[in-house]
Chain A
Amino acid sequence: MASVYIPVQNSEEEVRVALDQLPRDASDILDILKAEQAPLDLWLIIAREYFKQGKIDQFRQILEEGSSPEIDEYYADVRYERIAILNALGAYYSYLGKIETKQREKEEHFILATQYYNKASRIDMHEPSTWVGKGQLLLGKGEIEQAFAAFKIVLDGDRDNVPALLGQACVEFNRGRYSDSLELYKRALIVHPDCPGAVRLGIGLCRYKLGQFEKARQAFLRVLQLDPENVEALVALAIMDMRTNKVGGIRRGVEKMHKAFEIYPYCAMALNYLANHFFFTGQHFLVEQLTETALAVTTHGPTKSHSYYNLARSYHSKGDYEKAGLYYMASVKEINKPHAFIFPYYGLGQVQLKLGDFRSSLSNFEKVLEVYPDNCETLRVLGHIYVQLGQVEKGQEFMRKATKVDPRDAQAFLDLGELLISSDTGAALDAFKTARSLLKKGGQEVPVELLNNIGVIHFERGELELAEQSLKEAVGDGVWRSFIEGKVNVSTADATACTRLYKDMQIFTQLEADNVNLELPWNKVTALFNLARLLEQLHRMEIASILYRLIIYKYPDYIDAYLRLAAISKAQNNIQLSIELVNDALKVNEKCPNALSMLGELELKNDDWVKAKETFRAASEAADGKDSYSTLSLGNWNYFAAMRNEKRAPKLEATHLEKAKELYTKVLVQHNSNLYAANGAGVVLAEKGQFDVSKDIFTQVQEAASGSIFIQLPDVWVNIAHVYFAQGNFALAVKMYQNCLRKFYHNTDSHILLYMARTHYEAEQWQDCKKTLLRAIHLSPANYVLRFDAGVAMQKFSASTLQKQKRTADEVRSAVAELQNAVRVFSQMAAGANLHYHGFDEKKIDTHVGYCKHLLEAAKVHCEVAQREEEQARQRLELARQLALAEEARRKAEEQRKKQLEKRKLEDEQKRVQQQEEHFRRVKEQWKSSMPASKRRERSDADDEEGGHSEKRRRKGGKRRKKERSSKSQYETEEAEAEIDDQEDEDAHLNYGEPADQMHDQDDEAEENAQGVLAAAGLEDSDAEVEAVPPVNASRRRKAWSESDEEEEQRPESSPVRENSAELQESDGEFMADKEKPNRDEAVDDED
């Protein structure tokens, strides 16, 4: 073991000090050194030895003692050693300063170091080692240029000064001049081939920076050969290994990192890289520990930035966006230029996006885009953000750019499609299809979401077959396939179960018992739901219901499936089951606005008004008033409440109507394109008589509704027709009703037929009216109102025919026939009335019967008159014809006679003429006898009566007109007029009762009677109308209900759309997640 010999003063002896046996207490040595006045180089050697042994305190003690003023004094002429001691201290403190992380201590160390160097300089200005030390110190302080000057001074003096060369190389490296740096390192190595491995480390780093990876690797390896514990080299090699991105490479890299970490646990870079590695292996705890350590040990900006970034990523992936955001922020703060390290910007952008801070997110992503202008991910994210900010155009622009940048990036097309879905389904479909074919070409599995979206768009566009294909592809194989293909027999139920079919889960337990795999992966649920929805559209309810039930069986919280089943059973009028299903849905989420709204509709169907209103309220509250459907339902509720005519309360009606309007308007404010709200507003306006405005609204709604298969808005057609009707445009009204009936109801809605009949009635097209009513009866046999109305129509037809000035006997006969029919209809109803089939007043029907019978009586007379007239006409005709015939015959006879005269057969001919004439007479008599004997007196009576009729009639007619008006207005129900109408209605009743009595009393007085009856007839007519009105009104109310029905129907139908949008959101989420992933991949590339 090496020893030093301290010469004993004034003797030849020396004290041997074994360097490996230095005393623990440096004072012992110091005493000897001082006592023996040992040369200063010995001091330095011993101090260094202490340093090497890690006994820093002793090292410092000796050096500090060695640089004390007394020593200076004593060894004043020993300059070099004194400088060396000072430099050693300076170097020591610069080192301390370099590794110190706390700013204040760091500065203190540097100040001390500076003091020592300055002291050394004072001893000798030109000592190169001092300059080298100063250079290192300046480097450590980050004052690159001054360090450069310091090293230059040394190198100018001695261009082969190795420490200066190394220092200068370091300076050049930091300046980014890697090739210059490399040259300097090389020179140092040439000058001093045995220099420590660290020099080669510099070479390696330069090579690395210059992109000469192989040579860099060699250099690092060489370093490790020389110094197997060189952390930097290990880390560098590890990084290079990791960057190969191959499994083996990464593993080797991680091993090296581990080694480096074991050697020196405070190397920030190693820590960062290890953290990075553990991030990908998902060991977030380690990531945090490592990066926190790294942060504690480094002040180096980029390294810190990297550490913060690692931490941020860790939190980001754990979903702690707040923290992640903070750390990203910290990371970004450490970066001077985004170009140096862009990833934290990306991460920050993502987190801000997630937290909804679109503006900040936008600016961060834009920074990323500046660095990587063609980065697809960034383009897509930007597109997404712009859409979120409402700048859809710009968003699409970015997405399009992304697809252009990489036309084979399926994800970009996917995103573009999702973007376009709300604005341009066609383009969206194209984008999706491109994405699908790209994925298929690439041999990748096409995601379920994509296929689902394609399917749904086809569905929306009404391309049901394509939709089915795509959705089937999306759901793939599973038990549902055997359901769809009908391979599993599913329908067996006994009588008790068949009303509850849609709640039956037995088949699934049965199937499971049979070991059929019922597995339904969560990501296929949506697609399966949509498929079921599609099958519903294709009227394959059985399968659809099974699929819904399967969804519920596997995912009992899937509310939409319950609602669809409820909608199906509602469509089949199974209200009880429907309510149960909705309640099941409410068990899952008692505040689900959709379920509540549906429940409200069902309660309305059950005539549970108060309950329904409460339910709608609850629905509206559950959605914070934002759910337009429940608001609309409330609006409708109010409207219906206003239209109820059982309880007439004008004030209440007005408030209800006002409230309805308010609610519709509220919805319109929220969604200015809500067709139903617009329709509702139109209805309210129409109720107030503003037909032109309402017609405009209806027409616009109708146009808007003609686009999608999910929007079925027959009400607006009906409403337009109502407006036409109210404006007296009967032909157009009928056309509109017909179109609506055909387009939306498969001609099965008897209410609309009733509206049509009413229009025909107003237009006095009795036969059309009757035919229409008969059709309605055929469709809806149990609706006796229709029968009554048909009776009225026939009565009306007959009455008007009989009152015509000119009519043929045929007309009269048909009028009579119709009257008989009317009598039959009315009397049948009268007979049935006591069975309580319908809500008709027996008396009223009796009166109708009576009136019709009376009319029949009268008609007999009419009939006779008509027949007589006809007969007379015919007789006249006949006479003329006879005359003509006789003439002709005579002429012929004449001719013949002439001929006969010539042939002398005149006698025979004359006989024949006589015979002919006789024949004619016989025919004439036959005709005469075939006609009933006519009495002139009766006829004149009839005429008189008729005169009275027509006069009276005209007057009555005027009044009638007015009544019609009022009844019409009642139809449109302006409450005030309705009130009047009400009174009139009652008046009519009163009046009507009287003359009816008169009819019996004054039977003898023919003329008076006729007038009395006529008055009765007039009133009867109007009464009949009034009678006809309430049913219409009632049915209108019903209709209004059906309006809501319809909407209700629309609702579930729109549910897939919602579902859809939910789905879109979902996939949005995935889309986000996806985006994060590639980003993470890129993050591997980072390097500070």
Chain B
Amino acid sequence: MKIAGLKSVENAHDESVWAAAWVPATESRPALLLTGSLDETVKLWRPDELALERTNAGHFLGVVSVAAHPSGVIAASASIDSFVRVFDVDTNATIATLEAPPSEVWQMQFDPKGTTLAVAGGGSASIKLWDTATWELIATLSIPRPEQPKPSEKGNKKFVLSVAWSPDGRRLACGSMDGTISIFDVARAKFLHHLEGHFMPVRSLVFSPVEPRLLFSASDDAHVHMYDSEGKSLVGSMSGHASWVLSVDVSPDGAALATGSSDRTVRLWDLSMRAAVQTMSNHSDQVWGVAFRPMAGAGVRAGGRLASVSDDKSISLYDYS
């Protein structure tokens, strides 16, 4: 299990790159890397050369997250001004512009079947679910407020930052500023329970593709936690980063974890050992996003790709094997 640098693009954007996602391959083209930046653009890159496919404008204030539909045809990008732009990957035609004021927009993810887009709603302490056919807001999953909120406490502790679908699409997890992770039953639009253990913002969440209950969380406390999302238990805790863990992703084979951190490194974790096996220090600033390319054929690890994006304006591509 290792990653090896394939290609890096310096100054891929004019400003910090904050978001990355892979657009799955379609019949006409291979998978593309989608990146979003403070420079208000979204760019598409073709691996392995990381050739710039297209630059999408249309956002004001920095782009904080990008997400791709499992079909690979459409994608969404969101910025600090709380607009979500849904567009056709190949033509860049705007399909929809979503907003649900006063809710902000942070991380987004399409459900595995591609029928719903889940959007972390920031200060609204909720996840917004959008129908991908009609682009109507179909549900708002709110985190129940604590029984007796202290009047002295300013700000909203349940500020939702991150969101993740379980591989079967039945559960949604969201991470908040106060470190709690909330699990929802999507079908019933019902809050199930909290997962505790973090006390600092959880900026990234991902379910294991092979063990549907297993959830990984990245937090500002420099730890990655492994939870049994159903059993409400903390399975493991992994430390090693020197600063905030900003992003986490699981490899398609479910054996490895990649994390990006404010300590400027990308780490590869062997889940069987629960230990970091590799540390990449090629970025010179915070690594805001890491993303494994979804596997075309299941079961083969060869040809795996990992991308990382950073405040240093660069993007990097690695071979994962």
Contact B285 A781 (CB under 8 A): no
Partner of A774, one of B38, B194, B273: B38
Contact B223 A828 (CB under 8 A): no
- Given the known interface contacts A495-B196, A539-B240, A782-B155, the answer about A828 and B82 at a Cβ–Cβ threshold of 8 Å is yes
- Given the known interface contacts A491-B236, A492-B235, A573-B200, the answer about A746 and B155 at a Cβ–Cβ threshold of 8 Å is no
Partner of B233, one of A495, A575, A837: A495
Contact A778 B155 (CB under 8 A): no
Contact B239 A540 (CB under 8 A): yes
CA–CA, A571 and B1, complex, Å: 32
> Of all chain A residues, which has the CB nearest B262?
A746
Q: Encode A472-508 as 1/0 by CB contact (under 8 A) with B.
A: 0000000000000010000111110111010000000
CA–CA, A590 and B234, complex, Å: 33
Judge if A103 is at the interface, Cβ distance under 8 Å: no
Partner of B234, one of A491, A575, A747: A491
Contact A498 B102 (CB under 8 A): no
> Of all chain A residues, which has the CB nearest B158?
A782
Judge if B111 is at the interface, Cβ distance under 8 Å: no
A1005 to chain B, nearest CB (A): 35
B149 to chain A, nearest CB (A): 9
A541 to chain B, nearest CB (A): 4
- Given the known interface contacts A747-B262, A771-B38, A782-B156, the answer about A499 and B197 at a Cβ–Cβ threshold of 8 Å is yes
Docked complex: A756-777 residues within 8 A CB-CB of B: 771, 774-775, 777
Q: Encode A741-763 as 1/0 by CB contact (under 8 A) with B.
A: 00001111000000000000000
Q: Encode B50-94 as 1/0 by CB contact (under 8 A) with A.
A: 000000000011101000000000000000111000000000000
Judge if B143 is at the interface, Cβ distance under 8 Å: no
CA–CA, A1082 and B264, complex, Å: 61
Q: Encode B193-209 as 1/0 by CB contact (under 8 A) with A.
A: 11111111000000000
Q: Chain A contacts of B152 at CB under 8 A?
A: 607
Judge if A784 is at the interface, Cβ distance under 8 Å: yes
Contact B237 A748 (CB under 8 A): no
Judge if B238 is at the interface, Cβ distance under 8 Å: yes
- Given the known interface contacts A572-B221, A835-B123, the answer about A748 and B244 at a Cβ–Cβ threshold of 8 Å is yes
B235 to chain A, nearest CB (A): 7
Interface residues on chain A, size class: 35 or more
Partner of B38, one of A746, A775, A828: A775
Judge if A574 is at the interface, Cβ distance under 8 Å: yes
Contact A572 B154 (CB under 8 A): no
CA–CA, A492 and B123, complex, Å: 33
CA–CA, A769 and B34, complex, Å: 28
Docked complex: B130-150 residues within 8 A CB-CB of A: none
Contact A747 B239 (CB under 8 A): no
Contact B60 A541 (CB under 8 A): no
CA–CA, A495 and B156, complex, Å: 23
Contact B221 A571 (CB under 8 A): yes
Judge if A645 is at the interface, Cβ distance under 8 Å: no
Q: Chain B contacts of A821 at CB under 8 A?
A: 60-61, 81
- Given the known interface contacts A495-B196, A573-B179, A781-B106, the answer about A539 and B16 at a Cβ–Cβ threshold of 8 Å is no
Partner of A575, one of B177, B199, B239: B199
Q: Encode B269-298 as 1/0 by CB contact (under 8 A) with A.
A: 000011100000000011000000000000
Docked complex: B242-262 residues within 8 A CB-CB of A: 242-244, 261-262
Q: List 19 A-B contacts (CB under 8 A).
A: A498-B234, A501-B234, A501-B237, A540-B240, A573-B179, A573-B199, A747-B286, A774-B38, A774-B62, A775-B62, A777-B80, A778-B18, A781-B159, A781-B161, A782-B122, A831-B101, A832-B102, A835-B124, A838-B155
Apart from A572-B223, A781-B159, 17 more pairs, CB < 8 Å: A493-B233, A494-B231, A572-B198, A573-B179, A746-B264, A748-B243, A771-B38, A775-B38, A778-B64, A782-B122, A782-B155, A790-B61, A820-B60, A821-B60, A835-B102, A835-B123, A837-B155
Q: Which residues of B contact A (CB under 8 A)?
A: 15-16, 18, 38, 60-62, 64, 80-82, 101-102, 104, 106, 122-124, 152, 154-156, 159, 161, 177, 179, 193-200, 220-223, 231-244, 261-264, 273-275, 285-286, 311
Q: Which residues of A contact B (CB under 8 A)?
A: 486, 491-495, 497-499, 501, 539-542, 571-575, 607, 745-748, 771, 774-775, 777-778, 781-784, 790, 817, 820-821, 824-825, 828-829, 831-832, 835, 837-839
The 7 A-B pairs at the shortest CB distance, nearest first, are namely A498-B234, A832-B102, A573-B199, A495-B232, A746-B243, A831-B102, A746-B262
